Structure 1
Amino acid sequence: MHDTPKWQRPIELPPETMAADPAEQPPHQPAREIPLDKTQAVEDDTFLEPPPSPPQRNKHGRRWLMPLLGTLLSLAFGAELYRLISWSTSIHPLLGGAFSLLTLLLLLAIGVEIRRGFKGSRQLRQVQKLQQQANSLLQQASHGDSAALLHQLEQRYRSTALEHELQGAIAQLDSSYNDREIIQYLNRHALNQADQTARRCVQRYSVESGVLVALSPWASFDMLLVAWRNLRMIREIAAVYGVAPGLLTQGKLLKQILQNLAFAGASEVAMDAGSALLGSSLTAGLSARAGQGIGAGLFTARTGLTAIKLCRPLPEQGQPKSMLQQIVKGIVHRLTSRKA
């Protein structure tokens, strides 16, 4: 049997004895530099575990969210219409018939707009594919690869405003052209009239937006005004290039335009605005309100030029550099003539 150790009273040490004697500490040695030829590489055997991947979101739930929400809103809207028609019919049959006719016309208008919007969205996807094929052909000097693109252009723009000019340009193609030269020729001749019409539309809406903002005394009204003019301009540009102008098409185009303007960066927009302002000698002596109008006009111009870039079936080779200066001069001319 083992003996148990006896309990001993703890020994208390005074704080003075805890301090280290400076004489017992090793002397300080300065740092010394080690030459590179005497160093050795040491392999790191430590294994770092990768950070845990973030949990993936449930995409299937988000996919079904919008259809379910749309179905719920449609049922609620239909129930309210049925209650309204029943209430009006109980008052007088003619009143119920009038409400029923208005409801039918409203549903027909909504159906036509939805159909046009889906058609425009499908056409925008086709335009993006055509632009990608044309960009790939511009990077090579092959022969014969552009035949499929020409056939798709003829099929896509049949019975549209671009059909006559496009077919005339395709008929005048020389057999000695390679694929890059064919795309460049179509860019100059097949879309020349449509580009001029779209740029005149951009210039008109930009000048009008700038003048109206400069003359408007309400800031909130300016935002609504610019948004209204930009939506109308996008609708007209889409119609010029054979894209069905619907509300869904306008929303999709506006989203892509804002993304392109955001990726272009504020520096490019500022450079365009600065060059336009410096290039016009008529801006001296104008008020700050006129400067806001010029800024709104330039924003509308940038929006319109981006819409042209997105709606063209072929990639745009270059835009007229003097267009922004012409827009600024048009705004200043309108303001100075009104002031005079």
Structure 2
Amino acid sequence: MSERSGLRRPVTFKLDDPNVVVLDPDEEAARPTRSSISITPEAEPEPEPVLLPEAPEMPPVPARKGFRWGVLFWSSLGGLVVLGTVLGAINLIHDLFARNETLGFLGLVLAALFVVASIVIAAREIAGLARLSTIENMHRRALAAIAADDRKGADAVVRDLVKLAHDNPHLARARATLRSHGSDIIDGADLVRLAERELMAPLDQEARRLVSVAAQRVSIVTAISPRAVVDVLFVFAAAMRLVRQLARLYGGRPGTLGMIRLIRHVIAHLAITGGMAASDTVIQQMLGQGIVAKLSTRLGEGVLNGLLTARLGLAAIDVTRPMPFTALPRPALGDLAKDLLRKRRDDN
């Protein structure tokens, strides 16, 4: 601030004094009386733009040129295997007809049944992969509808979710409630959250039960198993069974290829969210408080294996669930750990 009169001696004054006049720079021409004190605020300098260092441009990845010999190798090998199988089946049926006509017709019928079964299995695998892709796409669309508050996109997500859950008789009341109240919701994000609360709440409760049962089963078996090989095989089988059960619960029907894809996604999700390392908060807390040390060695190993199975189940829930956790709380490993420890204490 600067005072208008350069000849005035320094004085003290209050801003609420009626003789103090605050002028704008544009009102410089309107001079107050000599008995008044005029104050003109200085204009604040405009902030200079901050120049950020430019990020170095990444060199473009050169496109791979040339013929792909690996594709040719596996394609030719697969073609040879198929041709060999077909030729072997034809020769077998021809030999059966040459030996006995009844055996020839029996071999022909068995070959026809094999072809039909192969076509059905292939169709089921393709349908299972398509259903998993639909669930993953629905998860992404729900997140986008919530972020953009898109009412039209939310309607499409809810319709697809109801269509996915129409085979589940336990969700009949939830579907009716969603149809009756869905038109009253204006915001797209609120509509997606309503659909999650109505349709996902009972499924989440059942999913938590499945994970808890699988973790307790793994804990018991690994605690009493005499061989480490048996532990590994049982844990692997229990993990596969748990992932398949969760996928079926949330509307997926994975086949063999679908299970391979789900396991890959679950492992990737575990790697992103911290994995199954022993540095997990709950496991670290248990080790720090000596809870496992108070149990026997085998029981302690069983509890840790059960917790790791529960961690895998929680990751499978995130992968197989068609809706993101926005309106409902995500199942926590701490709750499952309390159930597991309570079960161990009851058994002891």
Q: TM-score, normalised by structure 1?
A: 0.69
- In the alignment of these two chains, the number of paired residues is 287
Take 2:167 and 2:97, find their aligned partners in 1: how far apart are those partners?
Answer: 46
Give, in angstroms, the shift of residue 249 of structure 1: 1.1
Determine if the alignment matches structure 1 residue 332 to structure 2 residue 340: no
Structure 2 unaligned segments of length 5 or more: list them.
1-57
CA contact (8 A) 1:277 1:328 kept: no
Q: Using the alignment, how far apart are the partners of 1:73 and 1:248 within structure 2?
A: 20
Q: Does 2:283 correspond to 1:274?
A: yes
Instruction: Return the alpha-carbon distance in structure 1 between the equivalents of residues 336 and 230 of structure 2.
Output: 24
Deviation at 1:179, TM superposition (A): 1.4
For residue 192 of structure 1, the aligned residue among 201, 218, 238 is 201
Question: Quick one: structure 1 residues 255 and 143, their matched pair in 2 at CA, closer, same or farther if it must change by over 3 Å?
Answer: closer
What are the Cα deviations for residues 61-93 of structure 1, in whole angstroms up to 9, with x where unaligned? 555665544433333344444555566666666
Alignment of 1:141-290 (within 5 A): 141=149, 143-160=151-168, 164=172, 167-171=175-179, 172-173=181-182, 175-266=184-275, 270-274=279-283, 277=286, 283-290=292-299
Alignment equivalent of 1:125, drawn from 133, 141, 145: 133
1:76 alignment partner in structure 2: 84
Q: CA, structure 1 residues 181+330, in 2 after alignment: closer, same or farther (shift >3 Å)?
A: same
In the alignment, which residue of structure 2 is the partner of 1:36? none
CA distance in 2: counterparts of 1:54 and 1:207, whole angstroms: 52
Distance in structure 2 (CA, Å) of the matches to 1:221 and 1:174:
55
Contact 2:182 2:191 in 1 (8 A): yes
Range with bigger deviation, 199-208 or 96-105: 96-105
Corresponding residue for residue 330 of structure 2: 319
Cα distance in structure 2, aligned partners of 1:204 and 1:273: 18
Alignment of 1:310 onto 2:322: no
Aligned-pair distance for 1:268? 6.8
2:138 alignment partner AA: L
Identity of aligned residues (%): 24
Task: Report the 3-state secondary structure (helix = DSSP H, G, I; strand = E; otherwise coil) of the residue aligned with 1:117.
Answer: helix
Change (3 A) 1:68 1:125: farther
> What's the secondary structure of 1:139's corresponding residue?
helix
Name the CA distance, whole Å, in 1 between partners of 2:109 and 2:279: 53
More deviation in 275-284 or 198-207? 275-284
Structure 1 stretch displaced more, 87-96 or 234-243: 87-96
**Distance in 1, Cα, partners of 2:159 & 2:309:** 35
CA distance in 2, matches of 1:59, 1:316: 46
**261-270 or 315-324, which deviates more:** 261-270
Q: Bigger shift: 243-252 or 296-305?
A: 296-305
Residue 255 of structure 1 deviates from its aligned partner by 0.8
Does the 8 Å CA contact 2:216/2:306 hold for their aligned counterparts?
A: yes
CA contact (8 A) 2:283 2:304 kept: no
CA contact 2:243–2:316 (8 Å) conserved in 1 = yes
- Equivalent residue letter for 2:83: L
Q: Does the Cα contact within 8 Å between 2:142 and 2:324 map onto a contact in 1?
A: yes
- Counterpart CA distance in 2 for 1:142 and 1:86 is 64
- Asked if structure 2 preserves the Cα contact closer than 8 Å seen for 1:277 and 1:283, the reply is yes
Conservation of the 8 A alpha-carbon contact between 1:214 and 1:292 = yes
Separation of aligned partners in 2, 1:306 and 1:87: 54
Task: Quote the offset at 1:289 in angstroms.
Answer: 2.8
Unmatched segments (≥5 aa) in structure 1 = 1-49
Deviations 1:154-193 (A, max 9, x none): 3444445576355224223362441121122222211112
Larger RCO, structures 1/2 (Cα 8 Å, 6+ apart): 1
Contact 2:287 2:293 (8 Å CA) reproduced: no
1:88-113 CA-to-partner distances (Å, cap 9, x unmatched) read 66666666666665555555444333
Cα RMSD (Å): 3.6
Distance 1:51 1:280, change over 3 A: closer
SS in 2 for 1:175: coil
Q: After superposition, what is the alpha-carbon deviation per residue over 1:39-63, rounded to whole angstroms, capped at 9, x for unaligned?
A: xxxxxxxxxxx98966726586555
Q: Distance in 1 between matches of 2:209 and 2:164?
A: 25
Change (3 A) 1:264 1:160: same
